[in-house]
Amino acid sequence: MARISLKLDELIDIQALRCEMTALTVATAGDGSGKAARAGVLQLLKGRLTAGRSIAERMLMDDGSGTACAARLSHLMDEIIRALYDFAATHVYRVKNPSSAERMAVVAVGGYGRGTLAPGSDIDLLFLLPYKQTPWGEQIVEYMLYILWDLGLKVGHATRNIDECLRLSRTDITIRTSILEARFLWGEQKLYDELLQRFDREVVRTTGPE
């Protein structure tokens, strides 16, 4: 049986989207915190999401593969979330000299973490921090969540630092499974890598199979 081509680059022109989002801030010297910029971001993302879903549906009609369709929808959402994070961190809540605590990794978990997304499924996200939450982190998470909700998406989310993830995973099998299925999306990859390394060393090797 021939392998089905996912044709992911046909779902969304991410460079064009990012350029259009940045253009929303030209008149304000790069500041995207105003209502007009937010409305523009929402309109752009909604248009790309609708168009990408239509393309994925057409591809499904062509190849009949539900698995490929789920992978395409996951990729489409990946790109939307990445562009949204970068806009929030660069144009809305930019920190010129970030502290070591003002870092974040956006991580996909659950079914979304496995790189598949059925139509109407929850978008499960972990906002991973190095230490305790900061005002910057709260603002980034809040901005992203409200945009995603305004796009009509069902978003499951948690905001935790690495120590919290490890502590909770020792007693909560759901959280432990979510870390096993976690997939890095964007932000500070070193945080994600540290989580996996410490999870393997401090949880998996010390608790054994359930």
Mean residue pLDDT across the chain: 95
Mean pLDDT of the region 178-203? 96
Q: For residue 175, how many C-alpha atoms fall within 13 Å in the half-sphere facing its CB? A: 19
Positive/negative CA dihedral, 200, 130, 169, 181 = negative
pLDDT tens for each residue of 23-54: 999 999 999 999 999 999 999 999 999 999 99
Q: In the predicted model, is pLDDT for residue 106 greater than 90?
A: yes
Q: Is pLDDT above 60 for 111? A: yes
* Reduced 3-state DSSP string for 68-137: HHHHHHHHHHHHHHHHHHHHHHHHHCCCCCCCCCCCCEEEECHHHHCCCCCCCCCEEEEEEECCCCCHHH
Whether the model clears a pTM of 0.75, i.e. scores above it, the answer is yes
Answer whether residue 210 shows pLDDT above 80.
Answer: no
Topology adopted by domain 12-207: Beta Polymerase; domain 2 (3.30.460)
pLDDT(57) > 90: yes
Q: Give tens-digit pLDDT for 3-27.
A: 789 999 999 999 999 999 999 999 9
* pLDDT-above-70 percentage for the chain: 97
Residue 126 φ then ψ, to 5° = -115, 120
Q: In what order do the strands lie in the sheet with 105-108?
A: 155-161, 123-129, 105-108, 183-187
Q: Residue 205: its pLDDT value, please?
A: 79
Distance CA 9, CA 107 (A): 22
Q: pLDDT at position 1, please?
A: 45
Task: Compute the average pLDDT of residues 165-189.
Answer: 95
Neighbour-count burial of 33, counting CB atoms closer than 10 A to its CB (0-12 exposed, 13-18 middle, 19+ buried)? middle
Identify which has the larger pLDDT, 120 or 53. 53
pLDDT of residue 208: 57
pLDDT in tens, 130-153: 999 999 999 999 999 999 999 999
pLDDT at 62: 95
Termini Cα distance of the chain: 37
The pLDDT tens digits for 60-73 are: 999 999 999 999 99
